[in-house]
Amino acid sequence: MHYQSDDSGMPYDHSGGLQVNGEYVIVPFEKNDDQATAGFRIARLSNPLNPQWSPLVLRTRGQTVNAGPVSLTLLSSGRYLALVFGHNSDDVEVFVSSEATMPYFGSSSSTWISQASVSTPFGGAEYQGLQLVTQCDGQLFVAGTHRNKWFDEDWVDLWRVDLSATFVPGFTEVASRHMSCSSAATGNKRYCAFDAGAGIYVDPDGEILLYGVEHYNDAYPGTTRAVKVRELP
């Protein structure tokens, strides 16, 4: 177990939905009162007991004071793609590495370049997590998780992502599924909430698994500082 503090020196007080991709994790940072430019950092976890932070990368387009969910993947060109979504995922800024290496680590001279910013077609979903998934043929998708507060339902939606030659993204919804965080199998206790932490994992056999955690660390009666987790195949 290792605690990694943010040493950027910025007055951030909120971090939204992150994504782990191999040895790297992308983490968003913002200030709740919008009094600081938002951004993201990459942590390299090849040595879990001694993780390394990249420098802070600030937003320059769109909702520059907001950084909600962020996502990360490796493109077929070998360059890295980072998507930084704004408040309620209403917009997205696209960053691409200048070279076919992760920026700022090792001897690489690669940097993050802001390529585009567009409004998203997600409507009222207000995604708390948006994670990139790459199909075997290179086609990109984002899996968005959210909770419908009016009906107390948890949903995961899959959107195809098409990038133009200048990395302007287009989003097309291809699937949507209602997931059960509370059922007889859980003793009718809510084991997860998609307005909290939920994320995609692709196992070595290519099966996609969805994990969700509850919003608060109430765990079980008599215990503290723990959360319940549910695996949703």
Strand locations in the chain (E): 19-21, 24-29, 39-44, 52-53, 57-58, 70-74, 80-85, 91-97, 112-119, 129-134, 140-148, 153-163, 169-179, 198-202, 208-213, 229-232
- The predicted structure's pLDDT at residue 57: 97
Q: Domains in the chain, please, with CATH?
A: 19-184 (2.115.10.20)
State which amino acid sits at residue 52.
Q
Report how far residue 59's alpha carbon sits from residue 177's, in angstroms, rounded to the nearest whole number: 32
- The predicted structure's pLDDT at residue 167: 97
pTM of the predicted structure, to 2 decimals: 0.89
Note down pLDDT in tens along the chain; length 233 residues.
Answer: 677 888 889 999 988 889 999 899 999 999 999 999 999 999 999 988 889 999 999 999 999 999 999 999 999 999 999 999 999 899 999 999 999 999 998 878 999 999 999 999 998 888 988 999 999 899 999 999 988 877 778 899 999 999 999 999 999 999 999 888 777 777 777 778 888 778 888 888 888 888 888 776 666 566 665 666 666 65
